[in-house]
């Protein structure tokens, strides 16, 4: 279905629109469940009243101060991870081309550990994670560049960088004192516990800036998926588009890791699940972002409620689910 407005035209896929709407409804449902349940149950009408600033004082405290910041941070971080994974899987034309595997998450972890060892605050740790992600991306891009950046070369260089950085992280943890090592280890697990509006706001601002950039390069990226030569023949500036897309993907991954720690496998699984739901021949960015938001928020809700009163870090649950998904993905690729 194509909509034309003057000289502009937009092609809309009905199944993708229906899937996006369903994912949005599911994200709202999971969010309401997270806001309503817990040690103190808040009825849905009180949640609505608290959001509008007209609820009972207890509901406003629990919803507005304790639960809502965690839920919103989970939605935004999940969307950022899903969108970042979609970008890199599209560029590499490989389902394993996600920040978890090509070193960017490990680089963010290195920056965060260095900040912890240096005695930094929460904001310093977040800044260190973002800086580590960006520096790693620059190095990987430089090492993979040979008259251009091919997908398979980016994946191979990224896997090597990931292995090296994991070794560096282990070394840093062994050299740190016991308190710093425990703090860094807890952060490395990935968690939404204790997240407030000061964690959600930077991710929201990053998405506000980077979403238009992703929308701008989404169509040229679909052309690049058919091969560089075919894209160049259609007038696409391949390397410029690729550089902008990599910059957006790196910043999304870095900001998300800075806010919640290196929550793994969301960036890997979300784009592939979105692709299967929409039955799209390529990676879909909007559906990937929504799928990532649903996955992370639902995983955090399960981590809080399944083993109550004990709460698991959300990274533990996403690792378990993502590891199972990866095995199934590799088995399917083998066939």
Residue 312: pLDDT band with limits 50, 70, 90: confident
For residue range 132-162, what is the model confidence (pLDDT) as tens digits? 999 999 999 888 888 767 777 888 899 999 9
What tokens does 309 get?
């009163």
**Could you write out the DSSP letters of every residue in 108-174?**
HHHHHHHHHHTT--HHHHHHHHHHHHHHHHHHHHHHH-SSS--HHHHHHHHHHHHHHHHHHHHHHHH
Helix (H/G/I), strand (E/B), else coil: 234 = coil
**The pLDDT of residue 70:** 93
Q: What is the pLDDT of residue 96?
A: 80
Give the Cα-Cα-Cα angle 6, 8, 9 (nearest 5 degrees). 115
- The stretch 189-210 carries a mean pLDDT of 91
Between 305 and 75, the more confident residue is: 75
- 38 DSSP 8-state letter: S
Q: In the chain, where does DSSP find H-type helix?
A: 14-36, 44-51, 57-59, 68-92, 104-117, 122-144, 151-175, 178-189, 197-224, 228-233, 238-260, 266-278, 285-305, 314-334
Query: Where do the domains of the chain lie?
Result: 2-334
pLDDT of residue 12: 62
Q: Distance between CA atoms of 151 and 198, rounded to whole angstroms?
A: 36
- Position 88 scores a pLDDT of 92
Does 216 score more than 70 pLDDT? yes
The architecture (CATH level 2) of 2-334 comes to Orthogonal Bundle (1.10)
- pLDDT given for residue 305 in this prediction: 82
Q: Tell me: the pLDDT tens digits for 20-33?
A: 899 999 999 999 99
Tens digits of per-residue pLDDT, 221-273? 888 877 777 778 888 888 888 889 989 999 999 999 999 989 988 998 899 88
**pLDDT at res. 106:** 92
Q: What is the pLDDT of residue 325?
A: 74
Q: Do 316 and 304 touch, CB atoms closer than 8 A?
A: no
Report the range of poorest mean pLDDT among 127-141, 173-187, 188-202, 321-335.
321-335
Per-residue model confidence (pLDDT) at position 136: 93
Q: How confident is the model at residue 11 (pLDDT cuts 50, 70, 90)?
A: low
189/84: higher pLDDT: 84
Tokens of 216: 């701008």
Is the CA virtual torsion 303, 304, 307, 310 positive or negative?
positive
Q: What is the mean pLDDT of the chain?
A: 86
Nearest to 92 by CA among 161, 156, 139, 154: 154
Q: How far apart are CA 213 and CA 105, in angstroms?
A: 21
Residue 10, pLDDT above cutoff 60? no
d(CA 203, CA 72): 10
pLDDT score of 284: 85
pLDDT at 289: 94
In the chain, pLDDT over 70 holds for what percent of residues?
Answer: 93
19: Cβ contacts below 8 Å, ≥ 6 apart: 274, 277, 278, 287
Chain-centroid distance of CA 168 in Å reads 23
Q: Centre a 10 Å sphere on the Cβ of residue 81 and count the other Cβ atoms it contains.
A: 37
Do residues 37 and 298 lie in contact, with contact meaning Cβ atoms separated by under 8 Å?
Answer: no
Pairwise pLDDT comparison (161 vs 7), residue with the higher score: 161
Read off the pLDDT of each residue in 76-101 and give the average, rounded to a whole number: 90
What's the confidence (pLDDT) of residue 201?
93
The pLDDT value given to residue 151: 73
The pLDDT of residue 256:
93
Most confident of the ranges 92-106, 112-126, 165-179, 303-317: 165-179
Q: What is the pLDDT of residues 289-302, one digit of tens each?
A: 999 999 999 999 99
Q: Residue 9: which H helix or E strand, with range?
A: strand 8-11
């Amino acid at each position: 279905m194509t909509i034309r407005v003057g000289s502009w035209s937009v092609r809309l896929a009905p199944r993708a629109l229906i899937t996006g709407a369903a994912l949005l409804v599911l994200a709202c449902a999971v969010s309401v469940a997270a806001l309503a349940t817990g040690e103190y149950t808040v009825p849905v009408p009180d949640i609505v009243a608290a959001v509008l600033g007209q609820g009972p004082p207890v509901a406003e405290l629990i919803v507005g101060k304790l639960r809502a910041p965690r839920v919103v941070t989970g939605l935004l971080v999940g969307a950022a991870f899903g969108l970042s994974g979609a970008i890199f899987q599209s560029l590499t034309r490989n389902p394993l081309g996600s920040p978890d595997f090509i070193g960017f998450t490990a680089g963010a972890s290195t920056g965060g550990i260095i900040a912890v060892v240096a005695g930094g605050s929460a904001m310093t740790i977040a800044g260190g994670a973002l800086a580590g992600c960006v520096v790693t991306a620059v190095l990987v891009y430089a090492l993979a560049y040979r008259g251009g950046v091919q997908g398979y070369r980016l994946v191979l260089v990224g896997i090597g960088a990931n292995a090296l950085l994991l070794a560096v992280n282990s070394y840093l943890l062994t050299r740190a004192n016991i308190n710093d090592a425990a703090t860094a280890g807890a952060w490395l697990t990935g968690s939404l516990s204790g997240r407030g509006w000061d964690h959600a706001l930077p991710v929201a601002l990053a998405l506000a800036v980077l979403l238009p950039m992703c929308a701008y390069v989404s169509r040229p990226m679909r052309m690049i998926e058919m091969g560089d030569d075919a894209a160049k023949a259609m007038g696409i500036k391949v390397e410029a588009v690729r550089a902008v897309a990599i910059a957006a993907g790196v910043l999304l991954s870095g900001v998300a890791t800075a806010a919640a720690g290196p929550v793994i496998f969301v960036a890997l699984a979300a784009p592939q699940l979105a692709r299967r739901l929409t039955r799209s021949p390529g990676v879909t960015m909007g559906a990937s972002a929504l799928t990532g938001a649903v996955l992370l928020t639902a995983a955090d809700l399960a981590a809080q409620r399944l083993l109550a009163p004990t709460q698991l870090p959300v990274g533990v649950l996403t690792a378990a689910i993502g590891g199972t998904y990866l095995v199934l993905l590799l088995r399917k690729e083998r066939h």
